[in-house]
Structure 1
Amino acid sequence: MLDKDAAEAKLKALEAHMLDKDTAEAKLKALEARILDKDTAEAKLKALEARMLDKDTAEAKLKAMEACILDKLDTAEAKLKALEARMLDTAELKLKTLEAHMLEKATAEAKLVVQTDTLFAYMERRTTLLLQMLKERVDKLDVGADKHKVMFTATGGDIKKDDKLVFDVVHTNVGNAYNSSTGIFTAPYKGVYFFTLTCDINYGMIELHVFKSSELMMKFYDNTEQKGHSGTNSWMLRLDKEDKVYVKPVLNQNLQRHDKHSVFSGFLVEPM
């Protein structure tokens, strides 16, 4: 009986020991599970740290991108402001130039108006003065029309002892300025006179000199191989009162008198 009880006791002890062993194995398994859970937790932690690291990197990249965008935006704003300033300066300069041009144009137009008014006023005064002078001159001409009439025509053509050519046949002598005895025309008034001389040439060459008082004014030449040839010359002279006009032949051996062909004439064109 004692042996049976002892055996039972040992069996119980063994069972208890086996139970403790199972408990220990359970605890070991639990510990292993806990260790496994710890590794899993560490892996998860590392993964989380990696994700956080990736997040920090992403945030850094994002911040860098934001900084780059801000820099570009600031640069673009600076360029835009510079462009606006340039455009504003250019616009202001063009506006000032346009204003100056318009002011110059307005000034020029004002000056033109003043000059035009001045010119019109001057022309009006000038016209009035000229009309007045013309009226006075017409009045004088009307009053003294007969007084200033001077004209003559004479023919002949004799050479006198003082070598003057004298046309002694007078056809017209208004104003009695031509002397048919001396062949001298004496200007009764200061003015411009017109003269014509025609001479009959027998044959060959002649030379005639025209004098104003004692001053030689011009020379006339003619040369012909035909008999009975006539040469004509005309001229204008400005004479003072009492100036004398006459003709002297130089080569005269071929000059012949003719009461119809040799003519000396003149008249007053404009008194002064």
Structure 2
Amino acid sequence: MTTAPFSHELTRRIALLACEKAGLRAADRDLALIRLGENALFKVAAEGVVVRVARTLDYWPDVAREVAVSRWLHSAGLPAAEIVEAIDQPLAVDGHPVTIWRYIAGGPASYDRIGDLGALLRGLHRLTAPDELTRHDDDVLGRVQSRVELAPISEPDRVFLLRRLAELRDEVADLDYVLPPAVIHGDAHIKNVMVADGRAILIDFERAAYGQPEWDLGMTATEYSTAGWWRSDQYQAFVDGYGFDVTRWPGFPTVRSVHELKMTTWIMQRVRDSTDIAEEFASRMRTIRDRAPSTWNPW
């Protein structure tokens, strides 16, 4: 298994190897980086596909679940990203799980289409859960601990984040939910919505599970109340699209704190990539440590 940093160069090489393994025609010049974060996504225009590279084989169960969920959503009729069925997936490539998806010939949803995310989540949460989805409540803090333990951050920041993680685990255990359990997306933000021919399409299902809808709704609510990414009318469009305002639920402060921690530790993984990212991490830390008001920058 490679120990190299999860960089553009590394993931590009993995994506090329995956294309070769899958029998796709792709040279280095054919790959266009779409996004580098928790995963790396590359468009291969000549084949009409997107190659998605995960960080390590530890992510294999999540990636395999994403493939299964995509197939299930299509069978249920929900607009969703489509796996390339002709390829046996996931692929294991040099220590990385890789999946290959049909390219969506459209573009990312604009912020003015946040109501579509609410409507997609409403449709998702109304579906009958398949047996293979595991309960999400046991894993709402997911990868936070491993992120913090491995991150190139100061020891005081690491100690604080691990202590906050332990506190939030206790708070989550005491939550009294008001919505019925359902299939949830697990990473429900506007960047996981694409639009093609005017139709909103949900993507990125590796955190999908059976659990509480409050966690899906809490993502956009945290982006609104903490990060400052939404105007009031835009957030109201999201609420109207779904039919419930999670910020009015007494448990929302805990859900918001969990999302703040996850959003902060997500960007923390790239803290050495640039001074802008390092400054953004510091800004988010001031918010969650001191409740210092700050508008977060989206990445």
Question: Fold conserved (TM > 0.5)?
Answer: no
Q: Which has the higher strand share?
A: 1
TM interval, short-chain normalised: under 0.3
Taking structure 2 as the reference length, the TM-score comes to 0.16
Higher Cα Rg: structure 1 or 2? 1
